[in-house]
Amino acid sequence: MPARCRMLSGFVEDVVIRDISPEGCRIMSFALNIRPGTRVVVRPTGMEGLCGTVRWSGRHECGIEFERPLHPAVAEHMHRCYATFLPPEVPYRAEAPRRLAA
């Protein structure tokens, strides 16, 4: 689901929440550069901000532990609402090799 991530430094970045549970979430952004231990506020579209701490980071993703867990029904509602936000993965199809232009 789309969201914005704000750091204490004031830097704000548009991100995508790839996974969410009552205890935390995983966010993704190609411009994201956050170290573990950084405090952030993640604000999903149409919701108030969720304060948390970065617990791990790597390859344009990071895991955030919320300061106050979400109610399980809220996390479930978010899963249902955004289950189709990203297109399904396209399975690999073997095709004839393509020639690259010289």
CATH 3.40.190.10 fits 2-81, yes or no: no
Q: What pLDDT, on the 0 to 100 scale, is given for residue 85?
A: 55
Angle at 40 between CA 36 and CA 41, to 5 degrees: 150
Residue type, 23: E
Render pLDDT for 87-101 as a digit per residue (tens, 0 to 9): 555 444 445 554 555
Binning pLDDT at 50, 70 and 90, where does residue 86 land?
low
* Identity of residue 67: E
- CA contacts within 13 A on the Cβ side of 61: 7
Mean of pLDDT values over 52-73: 93
The more confidently predicted of residues 62 and 46 is: 62
Look up the pTM and report it: 0.74
